[in-house]
Amino acid sequence: MPPLPGASGAHWQRYDPWRAAPLQQNGSVQVSPERRRKRARRVLVAGAALIALVSGSVGGAVGAYLERNGGVSEVELPQAGAESTDRTPGSVAGIAASALPSVVTLHVSGDDGQGTGTGFVLDARGHILTNNHVVEPAGTGGEISVTFSGGQTARAEVVGGDTGYDLAVVKVSGVSGLKPLPLGNSDNVRVGDPVVAIGAPFDLANTVTSGIISAKERPITAGGEKGDGSDISYVDALQTDAPINPGNSGGPLVDSQARVIGINSAIRSADSGSDPEAGQAGSIGLGFAIPINQGKRVAEELINTGKATHPVIGVTLDMGYTGDGARVAMKGNDGGSPVNEGGPGARAGITAGDVITEVDGQSVHSGEELIVKIRAHRPGDRLELTLKRDGDEKKVTLVLGSSEGD
């Protein structure tokens, strides 16, 4: 076939459409300089992309590490600077700071057992008020150790105690710098008032709890372990929801001005009734304190005479009566008249079988409640009693007599 016009036969014979580039003599492909430069640029771009990917991964890992660990320097967390430790007097902290130096922890041991309680300083002479059931285990030959809030300790001796009021006074000697705790007036207390309780629950000294006055004039009886009734205490108590536990007994219940308005004495727990220490049960928000007005009178008598007097109406009550009110027994404990001849009840005209339903207008539902209401007063106080006799109601006025407690 003749060659195409304009075409060289030799050149056509050398043309191979499937070969991208002419072969060098050794059989390798001959690449032009321009293609070499393009390939180099592609390699550089791919390398840069790989470096960026690796750098990004490493940078992310380093960033996460620094975020978790705060860098390579030492960790220092932000914190508030030094502030004044003073607190407003009416705050719980301010009340505690004022009252704690006057509160003590008592450790008692003797033939009748051992225990822990609380007390507070009454005067610079070393008198300390607490519960009678706190010091009772010491008996006549036991020991009482008093520890102050600053850690100082001293021996104490019982000045006097009374089971009916569940109050006792002990005295320390040779201790200087005593700070008496101011006494308030429990008659001024109102339901809802804020209060602070201080004590040593379960031997944790200087424990402070707070709450309010939940109720007033709660008739509480506690004790009675002897079985003859001689160790029962009758309290017209202040009720509080400030947590009180075994070991708080004898400690102060103070108002917003750090003045004592009550002596913490008993708790109602889920399984132990109102016994102050029974079962070692914890607080459920039902604590009871002896009003300080009663505590002050009894403490003064114990310090001055070693005994406390009890106000009486001079009648024997039927403690087994299940009706509403307090019924005068039909016979006295000795088989004679239940109304003491010449006593307050006799002078007021009370007779056997009368049912006392009110004291100064306040309802009385049992013999225990009547005793509690009577014990809340002083010998010589004048009371108005409401009686039921043979279906009729009458009112009588009497002046309380006095009997010496144990």
Q: Which residues are catalytic?
A: 133, 166, 249
Q: Which two tokens stand for residue 271?
A: 């399984």
CB of 166 closer than 8 Å to CB of 295: no
The residues that bridge with 406 in the sheet, in sequence order, are none
CA angle 305-308-313, nearest 5°? 135
Burial of 280 (0-12, 13-18, 19+ CB in 10 A): exposed
Q: Is the dihedral of CA 222, 374, 329, 366 positive or negative?
A: negative
Q: Are 211 and 229 in contact (CB under 8 A)?
A: no
Give the span between the Cα atoms of 334 and 66, in whole angstroms: 92
User: Which residue is it, tokens 């209401």?
Assistant: 373
CA distance 362 to 385: 9
Name the token pair of 280. Answer: 């070692």
Q: How far is CA 6 from the centre of its chain?
A: 118
Q: How far apart are CA 298 and CA 375, in angstroms?
A: 11
Going by the DSSP 8-state scheme, the letter that residue 269 receives in this structure is B
Q: Per the structure block, which two tokens stand in for 391?
A: 């279906």
CB atoms near residue 102 (< 10 Å):
23
Residue holding tokens 């109304």?
A: 339
